[in-house]
Structure formats: C-alpha cells, structure tokens
Structure 1
Amino acid sequence: MHVIASFDDLQPVPWANGAGETTELVSLTDSQALTPSLRRWRLSIARLDRPAVFSPLPGLARTFLPIGGEVGLEIDGQLHFVAQDEPQRFRGEQNVSLVELGSPCFALNLMVEIDDGASTGPRELEMSTRFTGSGLFAVTLDSGPGQPRFQLLELEKSDVLPDHLGMAILH
C-alpha cells in the first residue's frame, strides 16, 4: 500500500454553504486518474463543530461516516442517529442537516456522481468500515505507529491491513 493523500499535508476549504470547512483528499477530477473505470468521486474530511445545514449537491450520491462520535442527521425531515462505525447514505439533492452533535468531531465524506440514465456503465465506489479482503483504498481513522490519522492509502491485492487501526475501506 502507498499513501495517496494525507490530511496533515492539505489545507481546509470552506463548505459550499460557508457553514464549516472540509479537507479534500481526492477531487472529482483527480478520481478519474486514480480509477478511470469508475464513476467520478470525491473524498473529504469535514470538521463538525456545530449543527448546520448540509450544502445541496445534486447529482451526487453521498456516504457520510462520523469519526469520533455519534451524530444526529435530519434527512428530508426524518432523524437518523449515525454511529461512528456505520456509514449513512443519502443523495445530494436531499435536505440534510446536522442537528445533534455531542462534541466536535470529524466526518469522512464520499461523494460519487450519479448516472441515473444508464443501467450499465461505470460502477460506483462504495465505503464500509469492514475489510472483507479486498478494496481499492483505505482511509486511516485512527493514528498508530507510522500511520497518521486520515491518510488515504491505495491498496494492492496482497496488502494486509493492521488490526489495531480503525479504517474506512473504499471498494
């Protein structure tokens, strides 16, 4: 495995709606070079400091993974409590707000372009917190010896992931 991007080396940027900031690990454009056979995707780490409305991002399927605590999301008027080990999926055009936050934390956000018109075509990158023996990328959710928190790693088929680190797997 080798490092693609490291949170500590990147500068945060404001959210599209100005209500917070995020650090982009992979842009939609950069994803094309990394995974040309997949739909374009974006990966970022958001700082969650206070309740806020999410920016509308039509045309993107979103996967949200809180890191460091449980949060409450209101999605189209329905409250969802999201644990730090369970990604929550929703579409970018849905009305989403962070309504409950026990303490400031982070969130890993995967956004993938939606292709509603094609029944066949490039497949979509997905996120999970369980390694099943295969994956294209991993994001370190904890720090450990030689592995800073929030590093994006490209995986090789022969890679074995360390058991002592929390990771999100992109497959």
Structure 2
Amino acid sequence: MRHLTPADYTEMPWANGKGVTVEMLRIIEDGALTVRLSRASVVESGEFSMFPGIERNLTVVTGPGFDLRGEGFHLRANPLTPVAFAGDVAVSAEAVTAPSDDFNVMTARHLPRPEVSVLSGATTLPQGGTLALFALGPGSVNGLLIDQYHLILTESSAETEGTMIAVRLWPGAIV
C-alpha cells in the first residue's frame, strides 16, 4: 500500500494557461501516458486541453459543478457524480457559476476503462485490480488514518471510512 499526500504532488499550469493542475500520479510506459490522477479548479467557462488517445473521467469534489459540452454531446458535471468523456474531443466547460474543484482520472484508451465511484461512510472493497482511493475529508483505509486529499494506492482489498473517490484500475496498473 502506498500513501501519497499533497507534499508528494506536483503543480503544473494548464496548456491553455487558464488554470493549474495538481498532479498526484503519472504513469508513463514506453514513452506514453497510461495513467494520470490529478485535481484541478474550474473557475470560468473555457476549453479543456485535448489528450488524444486518452479516456477521461472527472468528478466535481467542491463547488456547484458545470456543463461539459463537445461535438455531439453535453454532460452535466454535478458534485460527486463521475462523468466520462474522450480526451481527443474538443470539450468546453460551460455554465460555470462559481469555482469548482474536480478530481480527474486519465487512462490510455487501449487499456481497460477504470471504474470510478464515490464512497461515503464505512465501505468494504474487494481485492481485484489496483485501487486508488482519494480522500475528500478525514478518513481511514485499512486502519490507516488519512486526511483530505491524501491518496492511497493498493492491490489488496480495502476497508474504508469517510468520503472518498475510489478508482479501480486493471491489475498491476501502478507499479
């Protein structure tokens, strides 16, 4: 089990210059991105950066949320409701009425899609694949006390307490 805290994360500007991403985890294989977990703030309407060959999943963790609009689709990014979309499609955030922070999962398209869910209270997650658990407040994973925005990575089952986002990736996704 790996325990990452905000001190382990890296801040980087968006490609469009309109914000900052806090990158928690990046896995590169054969020179290509396979997994990225990050957090960002959406403070105004505008275009998202494109990531060809990448599947994206976004969960608003604070704020009222916003609309995601691209060619042929419209999604509402409501608080604590994961939404998925392709990274190689032009997408804009619209109807931004107040700042919202979001948790992002990016995975290479040729790999199995992650399962993303929001947990609350006491939860038991069975073993299977790699689990990434992102705490939205104080909580615990397998008895380890964690604080808001801590990230736990494990290949085993997990007993969780508190509100967190659970991402189940394929086995061995995070070495």
Alpha-carbon distance between aligned partners in 1 of 2:97 and 2:90, rounded to the nearest angstrom: 22
TM-score under structure 1 length normalisation: 0.77
SS at match of 2:158: coil
How big is each residue's C-alpha offset from its partner over 1:21-63, in whole Å with a ceiling of 9 and x where there is no partner?
A: 101101132xx6xxxxxx9211110122211200011100000
1:123 matches 2:112: yes
1:7 aligns with 2:6: yes
Q: Which runs of 5+ in 2 are unaligned?
A: 169-175
Q: What per-residue deviation string (whole Å, max 9, x for no partner) do you get for residues 107-163 of structure 1?
A: 111110012xxxxxx53433221466236120012245943221110236353100x
The TM-score with structure 2 as length reference comes to 0.76
Q: Using a 3 Å threshold, how does the CA distance of structure 1 residues 157 and 148 change in structure 2: closer, same or farther?
A: same
Find out whether 1:71 has 2:71 as its counterpart: no
User: Residues 91 and 156 of structure 1: is their aligned pair in 2 closer, same or farther, counting only changes over 3 Å?
Assistant: closer
The 1:137/1:97 distance shift into structure 2, 3 A limit, reads same
Runs of 4+ more than 6 Å apart: none
Aligned partner letter, 2:53: G
> Relative contact order: is structure 1 or structure 2 higher (C-alpha 8 Å, sep ≥ 6)?
1
Instruction: Provide the C-alpha distance between the structure 2 equivalents of 1:61 and 1:40, rounded to a whole number of angstroms.
Output: 10
How many residues in Structure 1 have an aligned counterpart in Structure 2? 154
Q: Residue type of the partner of 1:126?
A: E
Note closer, same or farther for the CA distance 1:158–1:95 as it changes in structure 2 (3 Å cut): closer
Which stretch of the first structure deviates more once superposed, 59-68 or 80-89? 80-89
Considering fraction of residues, name the structure with more strand: 2
Alignment counterpart, residue 90 of structure 2, candidates 95, 111, 133: 95
Aligned counterparts of 2:74 and 2:134: Cα–Cα separation in 1 = 27
> After the TM superposition, which residues 18-33 of structure 1 pair with which residues of structure 2 at under 5 Å, given as runs?
18-29=17-28
RMSD value over aligned CA atoms?
Answer: 2.4
Identity %: 26
Higher helix share: 1
Q: Tell me if structure 2 keeps the 8 A contact 1:19–1:53.
A: no
**Distance in 2 between the 1:101 and 1:143 partners?**
28
In structure 1, stretches of 5+ residues that fail to align are: 33-38, 116-121
